[in-house]
A and B are shown apart, each in its own frame.
Chain A
Amino acid sequence: MRVPFSEPRRLHTGDAMATLHTRSAARLMIAPSVLLLLAWMIVPLAMTLYFSLLRYNLLMPGMEEFAGLTNYTYFLTDPAFFQAIFNTLAIVLGVLFITVVGGTALALLLDQPMFGQGIVRILVIAPFLIMPTVAALVWKNMFMNPVNGLFAWLAKLLGLQPFDFLANAPLLSIILIVAWQWLPFATLILLTALQSLDEEQKEAAQMDGAGAVSRFIYLVLPHLSRAITVVILIQTIFLLSVFAEILVTTNGGPGTQSTNLTFLVYAQALLQFDVGGASAGGIIAVILANIVAFFLMRMIGKTLEA
């Protein structure tokens, strides 16, 4: 019975031995980098977890003591915490809305054949290359400043009272600044998606009697849906941790009106010197980010499959 199979079986086991061998060798060789990466991730996380359970204030060195979950209850019941959650979400959603809508509009414009297309495209990309602190300072001092700013000058030109953006609408101002920085990214991704739309499909829709608006709704928008998903995913990751723009413009104020979670953790650690509380805040931020990521992944899975 076994005779006819014996030859291939022997060959097969020989093969498996060889693969097993190379596989274990491969594992052995990548082990150092995997371990390094693991330590890189685990050590800070473990230390943060540990600090979050201590009463640890930099103003009182050597006085650390185990505090249980006090840091968490303190952080979670802080009224600034809810304000920070709201602000974080407002920044993410606000910027996403402006960049996706504005990016689609700009991409549609840039897709039209026009004079100086190359230069215009480079100009549109430019804001993305400016570092956040610089961009925020330029906005703060040159545009939104109630005395010397461009907007103030415009308002005065029209006989209106200049508006102090950063004092009266701090969160909106920050959303505008961040949106300005991320608009080029969205435009770029959406423009490349737009250019991959089959020309014959557009012509077919034209023959079918679809006007410009119908073509956009029934043809362009469905075609862009994947690119829009990618824009939302990548931007959300970065927008959850907006920091530099807040630090150089409003410093989270007035009060906590423009404090997001990232800035709240920073304030806890480096303005109030409370390492324990800041660590607890950091862990909460990680958990919240994971919740957001969970919903994002579900949404993306659906769009990318279809």
Chain B
Amino acid sequence: MGSITLKNVSKVFGAHAVIPSIDLDITDGEFVVFVGPSGCGKSTLLRLIAGLEDVSDGEIVIDGRNATELPPAKRGLSMVFQSYALYPHMSVRSNIAFPLKMAGEDKATIDKKVQDAARVLNLTDYLDRKPRQLSGGQRQRVAIGRAIVRQPGAFLFDEPLSNLDAALRVNMRLEISQLHQQLKTTMVYVTHDQVEAMTMADKIVVLNRGRIEQVGSPLDLYRRPDNLFVAGFIGSPRMNFISGAPAADHGAHTIGIRPEHIALSTDQGIWRGTVGVAEHLGSDTFLHVNADGIGTLTARVGGDFAVTHGDQVFLTPDPQHLHRFDEKGMAIR
């Protein structure tokens, strides 16, 4: 009931092809995250699926039905916007009830569905307030409430957490994940934050300049990135890239090694360097090491590894987790 298929979909604004051509399959019940840097076309792609933009070419199939020419309301999708897009003059109750009212449902049904949605989202006490009397997180929940009452085939989220502060964002992330487990409805989620993508997704679609760089489960992308872009985008802190002689030793143009896959020692190792900055997070410490003949490398060590600025350390990459890339930036496997 919530499968979406894109066939050769492209979008052109004037002479500028925002999305050259994309093929993608989203199966029913999946939590799919579109992730990429700003301007990569991920929001445009979501709007194409929603029907808020017309495709320039290609076909969008929703539930086995060609939806390319269907207006947004007829596609059986609902969307949560970045600015929440609540109707400011309506109470929370009327906001949530609006899609049902537009669908022409009778009053008793609307009341019941609004109550149900409010209970799921912890909004029961706020039903008679106006959106401006709510906090950011509550507004977000109203927007989600407005999306779920219609019982759509799929939810579309357009960077829904980017207006919230860090603590609330972690909270809402969890709530949306729980909601997905509860409803088991397809969700398509757009974000530029790879942490959100990693923590929430069943399937991540990494986009860059309107092209799909790689599609896969979070751990798939983390363990086996197809190319330099995905390797650098997924994972925090980002992967270290080394080119030149050390890479040639491994038969590659560039090698990549994640900070957590570098072993540190104060007396022996393959690369020698001096500690530039040490970021102590408590449980972990991120060391920015100026390695001789290689450049700056980031390494993650345990919180009790005691080094400070200027200390000499030795770094040894774990050969099992070394990623090799050719001159075009594609992974060598």
Contact = CB atoms under 8 A, between A and B. Distances in A.
B326 to A, nearest CB: 43
A209 B89 contact: no
A214 interface: yes
A205 B52 CA distance: 11
Contact of A207 (B78, B83, B87): B78
Interface string A198-224: 101101111111100010001100110
Contacts of B150: 208-209
A209 B51 CA distance: 12
A206 B74 CA distance: 10
A209 B79 contact: no
A161 to B, nearest CB: 50
B103 interface: yes
Contacts of A208: 73, 78, 98-99, 102, 146, 150
Is the contact region of chain A dominated by helix, strand, or loop, or is it mixed?
helix
A207 B98 contact: no
A200 B82 contact: yes
Interface string B67-83: 00001110001110111
B102 A207 contact: no
Given A200-B81, A201-B85, A210 B52 contact: no
A127 to B, nearest CB: 32
Given A207-B50, A207-B78, A207-B79, A200 B85 contact: yes
Contact of B98 (A218, A222, A223): A218
Interface residues of A, number: 18
B52 A201 contact: no
A306 B91 CA distance: 12
Nearest to B75: A207
B102 A203 contact: no
Contacts of B82: 200
Contact of B83 (A198, A214, A219, A222): A198
A201 B87 CA distance: 7
A210 B102 contact: yes
Contacts of A209: 73, 99, 102-103, 150
A255 B310 CA distance: 102
A207 B77 contact: yes
Contacts of A214: 102
Contact of A222 (B73, B77, B89, B146): B89
B73 A206 contact: yes
B89 A207 contact: no
A136 B114 CA distance: 56
Contacts of B102: 208-210, 214
Given A208-B102, A209-B99, A209-B102, A218 B87 contact: yes
Interface in B101-132: 102-103
Specify which of A205, A208, A209 lies most central, judged by the most chain B CB atoms within 10 Å of its CB: A208
Interface in A220-261: 222-223, 225
Contacts of B88: 223
7 contacts: A204-B79, A206-B72, A206-B73, A207-B78, A208-B73, A208-B78, A218-B90
Query: Top 8 nearest A-B pairs by Cβ distance?
Result: A209-B73, A204-B85, A200-B85, A208-B99, A209-B102, A222-B89, A200-B81, A201-B85
Given A200-B81, A204-B79, 6 more contacts: A204-B87, A206-B71, A207-B72, A207-B79, A218-B98, A219-B87
Interface of A: 198, 200-201, 203-210, 214, 218-219, 222-223, 225, 306
